[in-house]
Structure 1
């Protein structure tokens, strides 16, 4: 059994790596009136569709690297927690390329007898989570789960740890130390890139709202391996939809995209709505933004178009599978708007992880590399501010109809000479979207 030191931790959505609080950045520009010009572009559509621009991309392989080839629209990685800069990779995190083994450990407590078996709880999360990443990565990443078959008994009662969403640091540290020590005799931690600690969902002290990724400022050490982060799972049976995909995204340096109300009450989904699992695990279109896929290495520069004037672009839906022959085509168009900011443009369709989407079309969103996780590093642009959609299913109906459809034009607000205009001319038979992006 390995010696387990006292960990120092910070938790996703609460603290930055430096320990400073992560606050909600007030959005002074978020209330700017926006609208779609619904003029039909039929006369231009034929000309647009005759100029199809396709790009190919290859598999990303090998270990994580510090430097990436991003091009002129690649925002720089900043010191912000989970920065969305894509010019370099943060080597403190494992990069999800190739395959990665993950261990799932099931923890019981002296004050409760589990009502479910480890196999039943493992089935709550797998193979669904592996399938999510297989689809999102265009089969470039395989998450291989290794659920343990027996319960690991914790030394203290579940109520002794004070488990809750905003957890007392000392009790949280004690929980992690006890869990790793209890499992160390049966688990070889050196074999795994991710550790999931799953608590008995029926134990009286388990708060189903407390699931988190815990980053360890001082890593735990077991089996000759430093454990720098652990996914602590406190879910009911069955669990929240896509919750493990969301938490696993944090393990790969992806930020929270939801807006957390300061008083804990109010709407959490005002930044991105349904459009990325890092915003809401209940979203109708939970596939990762193309920007996230660029950051993770699943899209390379051949699949990203940097727009600097006026360009005609054919966008393949970001959630569509790789075409026969290995081509991804263009999945992301980017307009650089500042040193640390960009406008991202991608197409979303009802395939893959987005098969339950409410609407299809061309989605626009702002990216801010210097904004920390939880502060709004991505904001979806509502191109139809006067309407909403799917009020009975969407996590945030005002953004459910955010994408532009065929024949629509949207001009980003800004001073004259600094505006970007996006025109959607056509949709091809294969499902791609033909757009014209014009920058001043």
Structure 2
């Protein structure tokens, strides 16, 4: 837990020199991070893909030690930044309620209670030295402007925040300041860690959302803090569909998704599923009982099998999981067995996961889905699907009274 905290969740025990905080500020990088040390994952199974040098690689055999692993309580400080060209019209408590407890509850459900994100919001605004328009805030932010913003923000907050007490740092800008662009919200990584209060700051979540913000936006950005990739497809011209890879089926694809629970593969990577809950499928025909991903396990239980995996090559696999209307998926409009392809060498935003559409000729939920062609991707009871380009057939044979799906896989 944070040390020497006031009720406002910030440390005011001492004023620290800003000079030490600014070390390495010139080493900013928006989307890349030097690979961290490998940490053995005792839950790895024979079908686990290896972690590669790709940004946010979905290899699950080891953990990238440059990122905090969400298997315990992690403490997050939320710092609110104001600017001299605008007087905030929204209070910090109101902005806090935009994100918490909703974000903590999202991760509590997704992790089956194995992880707790504890928020520690500041109670008052921290003034920035420059007008909001001075930093050039936008989605594809010039490195110089981004560096100046973070340099000023860290220095301004350092007198009141003991950064060594926290695992996650959120900088929340006044949403109504004239130079603030909500499209600029992202995690900024550092090629070399910042040193502040005797600790390394490897990344900071910069929040520029409108009030109220997009649904689940902070859960998406926090996922990057835990080494999860973007699953959306960004068109080269910025036009067209962004959600062609995974549609509604994971918050790392879209914060607006109807079924935003993290894929079982992501939960395996994060340590929320162990090897006993992952079936590694071998050649031949086998039966698997898959519990819906969003269904909470019984008290004292593991929740049963949540994922079946068929290796298709050194760096690729087919994943099979069940999705139902429970937990984070409570707003879904379809249920069934979802099939997707995983590639460990695909970088964030490059399609590391692609949902395979079991009903390519139809779509569903056009009034609510972010991408209706994939809204009806899951297989229903009695349906069979052959994976394109692979000798893999998946049949949903039955659904038990508890809601689990009996799935027959032939390879």
- Report the alpha carbon displacement of residue 226 of structure 1 after superposing the two structures with TM: 1.2
For residues 148-168 of structure 1, give each alpha carbon's deviation from its aligned partner in whole angstroms, at most 9, with x where no partner exists. Answer: 001000000000000000000
Does residue 316 of the first structure (1) align with residue 291 of the second (2)? yes
Distance 2:93 2:51 in 1: 40
- Contact map agreement 1:202 1:236 (CA 8 A) in 2: yes
Structure 2 residue matching 1:209: 3-state secondary structure: helix
Q: Does 1:374 align with 2:385?
A: no
- Which blocks of at least 5 consecutive residues in structure 1 are unaligned? 20-63
Deviation track 1:372-403 (CA, whole Å, cap 9, x = no partner) reads: 00000000000100000000000000000000
Distance (whole Å) between structure 1 residues aligned to residue 65 and residue 391 of structure 2? 36
1:66/1:90 contact within 8 Å kept: no
Q: CA deviation at 1:18?
A: 5.8
Q: Contact 1:7 / 1:217 at 8 angstroms: preserved in 2?
A: no
Structure 1 residue 96 displacement after superposition: 0.3
Q: How does 1:355-370 map to 2 (within 5 A)?
A: 355-370=330-345
Tell me whether 1:410 sits opposite 2:382 in the alignment.
no
Distance 1:173 1:431 in 2: 50
Secondary structure of 2:182's partner? coil
The Cα of 1:358 is off from its aligned counterpart by 1.5
How many pairs align? Answer: 389
Q: Relative contact order (C-alpha < 8 Å, sep 6+): which is higher?
A: 1
**1:16-72 superposed Cα distances (whole Å, 9 cap, x missing partner):** 3369xxxxxxxxxxxxxxxxxxxxxxxxxxxxxxxxxxxxxxxxxxxx943444121
Q: 1:174 to 1:145 in 2, by over 3 A?
A: same
Aligned residue among 32, 36, 41 for 1:16: 32
2:326 alignment partner in structure 1: 351
Q: Is the 8 A contact 1:7 1:220 kept in 2?
A: no
Contact 1:16 1:80 in 2 (8 A): no
User: After superposition, where does 1:262-281 map in structure 2 within 5 Å?
Assistant: 262-281=236-255
Question: Which residue number corresponds to residue 183 of structure 1?
Answer: 157
CA distance in 1, matches of 2:364, 2:129: 50
The aligned counterpart of 1:93 is: 67
Q: Which residue does the alignment assign to 2:189? A: 215
Contact 1:7 1:177 in 2 (8 A): no
> 1:346, 1:108 → 2: CA distance?
45
Q: In structure 2, what is the Cα distance between the partners aligned to 1:377 and 1:383?
A: 19
Q: Cα deviations across residues 104-139 of structure 1 (Å, max 9, x unaligned)?
A: 000000000000111000000000000000000000
Given that 1:425 and 1:435 are in contact with CA atoms closer than 8 Å, whether structure 2 keeps it comes out as yes
Q: CA-atom RMSD, angstroms?
A: 1.2
Q: TM-score, normalised by structure 2?
A: 0.93
- Equivalent residue number for residue 204 of structure 2: 230
The 2-side partners of 1:395 and 1:302 are apart by: 33
1:32 matched residue in structure 2:
none
Structure 1 residues 327, 68: closer, same or farther in 2, change over 3 A?
closer
Residues 88-111 of structure 1 deviation map (CA, whole Å, 9 limit, x = unaligned): 000010000110000000000000
Paired residues of 2:41 and 2:60 also in contact (CA < 8 A): no
| Separation in 1, partners of 2:61, 2:357 | 28
Q: Is 1:258 aligned to 2:232, yes or no?
A: yes
